[in-house]
Structure 1
Amino acid sequence: MFSDPDIEYHDDINKHGGRVRSFRHERGNWASYAYAVFHPREEFLEMLEEVMSVARKHGIILNKMEEFHISLSQTVILRHHWINPFVQSIKERLCSVNRFLCVADQLKVYVNKEKTRSFLGLEVVTGHQQLLEIVSEVDKSLQEFNLETFYQNPSFHVSLAWCVGDVTKSFQGACLQELQKVLDEFEDSDLLTRFSAEEICCKCGNKVMSFSLQ
């Protein structure tokens, strides 16, 4: 199911836009996290392009995310032989969780712990409680392996785009307000920013394992 954990890996930051890894890659260690899937409509991507265009006018050059999701854990390091039991633990804990509605329509700026990347995201305003309940179960699985649990009082969000460094000051004031106005006035924005949370995934290295909610 997984490639040989003893194959040595050489990282090249030029392959991922100058991003700096939070964890140095080591043989047998897999950077892993859990998340809820968000499959955007084509019109959502058009709306995002317009938001990014306005950001450029304010001197902020953003890179669109390759995929869209809501994080349900921090990125943790799993040993290769932990992966299957860890994923199975999460799957069993969430087997009776029902699908639910999420609305993410408030733009907010986030920065990673290392201050190496900033993210423009859509904060979840509906579905927050259900996401908290899922995180509680994921945290229990993390604790089984003595791994760090999720943030206290999390701001659940869908990251839309990113840039290198901490640029929160650049978004302050009129910039973020203007970006929010672009989103609010986009045709059918109220439909584009709501979705049903139906699938939970665990990504371990370059491997993704998913399972559906009820």
Structure 2
Amino acid sequence: MLDSHRNTILACALSALAGYVDAIGFLHLNGMYVAFMSGNSTRLGVSLAAGHWSNAAEALGVIALFVIGAAAGCLIVLGHGVHRQPWLLLTEASLLAGSALCYSFALPNAAIAAMVLAMGLANAVFQIQGGGGLGVTYVTGTLVKVGQHVAAALRGGPRWDWVPNLLLWAALVAGSFCGALAYHWINLAAIWFAAGIALALSAIVAATIHR
């Protein structure tokens, strides 16, 4: 998926956006993620083992919303073909703007739900019709690819193939850093910035999609 400079830049921008939103959700939910479902799945298992049923229900609810968002993203991919990326990003921007509005109207739970749906949907931006794609809200697989490409380079393979995946990881960390700062500054209202960035990405991708 990271086979061109355009895709690498877009993937890094989306990874940074995911990190930004996830950091805000993590701080607001005291350790629950809105984009990283591996962490939430571990938390679900630990909560069940400890008998913390409310925490387990919260984790399961977030995971379910994320899956619904991913399914919605897949439906957009199937319905819009080569134009899927602008529509997906526009939908993501709308969900994030809706999240910020919900917070403005003192509906924090609805705000979090919209954030989770947006993060699930974001993973379909690089989806291939009828198949898988590149996930932008988690980096475990990305770091595995860094290691694999480094090993290949050491054995005489392409020297720099590991760099795009390392940039993807660095973008998520940088986005998380900015999200944490923004949350401490203005709480969930910081999602307005994420909505604006997603909207800008939608416009840029729509303008460059035929190039």
Give TM-score, length-normalised by structure 2: 0.24
Give TM-score, length-normalised by structure 1: 0.24
Q: Which has the higher strand share?
A: 1
